[in-house]
Structure 1
Amino acid sequence: MRISQLEGRRVALWGWGREGRAAYRAIRAALPALPLTLFCTPTEVDDAQALGDAKLEIDTRTDADRLAAFDIVIKSPGISPYRPDAAEAAARGTRFVGGTALWFAQHAGPDGIAARTVCVTGTKGKSTTTALLAHLLRSGGHVTALAGNIGLPLLELPEHPVPEAWVIELSSYQTGDVADSGTRPDIAVVTNIFPEHLDWHGSQARYVEDKLRLVTDARPRIAVLNADDPTVAALGHVIQADPASTTAVRWYGTRDGWHLRGDVLWRGAVEVLDTAGLPLPGRHNRGNLCAVLTAIEALGHDAVALAPSAVHFQPLPHRLQVLGERDGVTYVNDSISTTPFATLAALDCHRDRPVALLVGGHDRGLDWSGFARDVGTRAPAVIVTMGANGPRIHAELEAVGGDIKLLAANDLADAVVKARQSLPAGGVVLLSPGAPSFGPYRDYVERGRHFASIAGFDPDTISSIPGLGIH
């Protein structure tokens, strides 16, 4: 649905975060007289009223009847369409769309494809993959847009200049928007699939289904898929076996494509470079470089020539971010970690040093038993549990036993103090919570900034994401 098609419809906005505000501005730019209703929280009312928009009605109450009064509800990504009020309104005829869907509909070409769009999703590594792809394209002189879930809503992008490539990160909350837009992405990259966001999706099966809609329903021209991930690989084989499929599969992680042998990057039988010195912490991130280079080839560029420019990549904040050293202890901010799998990967990056691991946060029902079994092989010096699911994680670890020292903390500040007191000089305090930040913090960024502040670092200098927008 294009924004122009909202004219004459009963339209509401649901959510007044950055995505909601971007949708409002885009609609007002095209349809200044369209009556709108905004569903928001009481704390957001003053900000919305300050717009002075006589055509904007504000409501802090949301239920099925109110939602069903509208033809179209433009929903912010964090609001689940599976919650009862939304599901009932949808059953009564209300159509829910997101800003991502509006953007893609606006950019459909004559063939139904949004030209030169590269959409990146996956449970882990999608932000780094997206930013690294934009970085390498720009290093080759290609004007590139970097936007989406990484920190800049698509509807905030200017129409000019028109980039040579649109590099877009999508969360599992947004992949369905692309499919629902009726516009096919040019290229879709899927890095991996682990259990995540079960509270939003309702079940692991639905999470996987929603995540993969970027390929199954949106039908990209080319799907760049990770051969090493069982779920992603299974999807790719299904596509390849379907004679009616219009999506071509490009694999990475295979011997005839981009892959790693130890720390060395190969393109088929050609050795390209040693990745050990790249600013990509963790083997999983160096594996994401393979995804990036495969996508660059799908765009028609020389990936071998661009690969060495990865050495100049600036790592993203809150993702295995080394903040620095205080009193002989290194502090690492991996606040974006919201699954136990991500926490285990973070531990792998520091296996040669004594680590105090900070875990726990919002409890959305993820299974931590696998983490409890596997964490012994990573051998942190101490694990400090915190947050709403901290007691449950603590109990899982106690049940497994082993030599790991366990401590319980009241909050993040208490956890940092206990971690520091438990470490010798040369150790690492690693915030990799494996859980969302909801409750004490607005998001993982606010949590990471607080961690930096507690550790004695300036949160403002560690939080900016470079390169957003069109460059």
Structure 2
Amino acid sequence: MRLEQFRGDRVAVLGFGREGQSAWRLLKQRADLQALEVWCESGALPTEVSGRVAEFDQGLAAYDVVLRSPGVPVDHPALREYRRQGGRIVNPSSIFLSERPELPVIGVTGSKGKSTTASLLAHLLRAESDSVVLAGNIGLPLLDQLDTTASLVVAELSSYQLADLEGRLRLGIITRLFPEHLDWHGSVEAYYAVKLRLAELLDGQPLIINGRDPVLKLATSAVPGRIESNRAPFFNRREDELMLDQAPLLRSRDLRLVGRHNLDNAALALEAACLLGRPLMPLLDALRSFQALEHRLETVSTAGERRWINDSIATSPHATLAALESAEGHPVVLLVGGQDRPSDWAPVAQWCQRRPLRGLVVLPDNGDRVARALEAAGAVEAAKIRKAEDLDAAIAAAVQLSRAGDTILLSPGAPSFPRFRNFEARGLQFREAIQRYLDRSTA
């Protein structure tokens, strides 16, 4: 939907997070509206913003158009009723795609690795002097880049954003596919369907997938233009080495990224960059210089004869498993726990059965349930489990369980809500708690 199509409308922006604020600013400045209001179910609105804080209800019928921020479920009862009555619901990112159809947009999604892959791809393209915008679920909202003079956009797209996104993409990447955000989507099938909407937005343009993911490979088997990267003859990972077909390019130790799964991400990013016509050797040089993103297997410190790793981004057991795989060969004290929602810890239990944890520290709200599941599976001994109410207590417990040379890994396997605003806030507090412990221990 283009901005000119809002002329004379009464518009409500639902939700006032990053994208809601971006949409409000844009419409306030550029759209000729009859009325513009913001409607949130919680929190508070700035004094300059007209709107309300209350549950969404039949009052939506008073608006000609509703802009749905990503955090608002597409099947919210009030939105279902509004849709049934013929109301127009617009995804803010759809406005960007409508306003800038000439600008190539590369969409990146996946159950894990989408932020790193999107950031890495933008880094690789900039090394070739491309003017590239990194936006969407990472960095700035797409609408904040409406006037960009860049030649290309790399957009990380979450399932919340993809659910009703409209427009066309130039190229797509899907990194992994496993159950996530089931509390928001309602079922595995619904979640997978939303992720695969990326293929619909490509309209036959190339879709690069991680060919090592059997679920993703099966789910995209009928997609035209699919490229099974991370398998020969394309860029692919073989153990700790990145290959092009059968030819070795570099090893994991050559990169500043931790974990084999990041070689998978690198293979996908290289595939996209080369498909866009960029030469290989400068891309490999750029790959070596890429820094890991914050809160994603981030080494916080190696002080105190221990390696402290912040993987606060891990909001599912599958992500925790990837973090454990990256630490193979080092005894691990694992910190887990967060929002209590349906999740399957069996893959983590199976890994830990073969590679026992040094210790397990569990946090609210679902930590007790995770501990019971792993103990029942024989993945950790009861004597090696500790409960903690906060990160300071968790660090103290982890130190007691660990030995010199061990890795203390925060990889919660659950969302940060409601105890933290987001995973970034959780990761920052983990860093601060580590520093407080180190300051005390060296005082």
Query: TM-score by structure 1 length?
Result: 0.88
Residue 163 of structure 1: aligned partner: 150
In structure 2, relative to structure 1, the CA distance for the partners of 1:399 and 1:323 (3 Å cut) is: same
CA-to-partner distance for each residue in 1:387-432, whole Å, 9 max, x for gaps?
A: 2111211111221125542222223222121111211111221110
Residue 198 of structure 1: aligned partner: 182
Say yes or no: does 1:122 pair with 2:114: no
CA-to-partner distance for each residue in 1:324-383, whole Å, 9 max, x for gaps?
A: 123222211000000101101101121222211011100121222333333323422011
Residue 203 of structure 2: aligned partner: 219
Distance 1:200 1:43 in 2: 20
Gaps of 5+ in 1: 110-114, 241-247, 459-471
Distance 1:448 1:176 in 2: 28
Equivalent in 55, 65, 71 of residue 72 of structure 1: 65
Q: Which amino acid aligns with 1:119?
A: G
Say yes or no: does 1:85 pair with 2:78: yes
CA-to-partner distance for each residue in 1:124-154, whole Å, 9 max, x for gaps?
A: 1111101111111111111111111013111
Residue aligned with 1:276, SS: helix
CA-to-partner distance for each residue in 1:255-293, whole Å, 9 max, x for gaps?
A: 111112232222224332233320111111111111001
Q: Is the CA contact (8 Å cut-off) linking 1:347 and 1:378 kept in structure 2?
A: no
CA-to-partner distance for each residue in 1:213-243, whole Å, 9 max, x for gaps?
A: 1113553511111111123212432124xxx
Please report how far the alpha carbon of residue 300 of structure 1 lies from its aligned counterpart in structure 2 after TM superposition. 2.0
Distance 2:219 2:376 in 1: 36
Equivalent in 170, 179, 184 of residue 168 of structure 2: 184
Distance 1:11 1:218 in 2: 29
Equivalent in 370, 374, 386 of residue 397 of structure 1: 374
Q: Which amino acid aligns with 1:219?
A: D
Residue aligned with 2:169, SS: strand
In structure 2, relative to structure 1, the CA distance for the partners of 1:60 and 1:96 (3 Å cut) is: same
Residue aligned with 1:168, SS: strand
Equivalent in 429, 438, 452 of residue 408 of structure 2: 429
In structure 2, relative to structure 1, the CA distance for the partners of 1:36 and 1:287 (3 Å cut) is: same
Matched residue count: 435
Residue aligned with 1:430, SS: strand
Residue aligned with 1:145, SS: strand
Q: Is the CA contact (8 Å cut-off) linking 2:41 and 2:56 kept in structure 1?
A: no
Gaps of 5+ in 2: 438-443
Distance 2:379 2:408 in 1: 21
4+ long deviations beyond 6 Å:
none
Aligned pairs for 1:70-469 (under 5 A) are: 70-109=63-102, 115-157=103-145, 159-160=147-148, 162-178=149-165, 181=166, 183-216=167-200, 218-219=202-203, 221-240=205-224, 248-404=225-381, 405-456=384-435
Q: Which amino acid aligns with 1:140?
A: E
Q: Is the CA contact (8 Å cut-off) linking 2:11 and 2:64 kept in structure 1?
A: yes
In structure 2, relative to structure 1, the CA distance for the partners of 1:359 and 1:402 (3 Å cut) is: closer
Provide the alpha-carbon RMSD of the alignment.
Answer: 1.9
Please report how far the alpha carbon of residue 32 of structure 1 lies from its aligned counterpart in structure 2 after TM superposition. 5.5
Distance 2:399 2:423 in 1: 22
Query: TM-score by structure 2 length?
Result: 0.93
Please report how far the alpha carbon of residue 68 of structure 1 lies from its aligned counterpart in structure 2 after TM superposition. 2.8
In structure 2, relative to structure 1, the CA distance for the partners of 1:271 and 1:457 (3 Å cut) is: farther
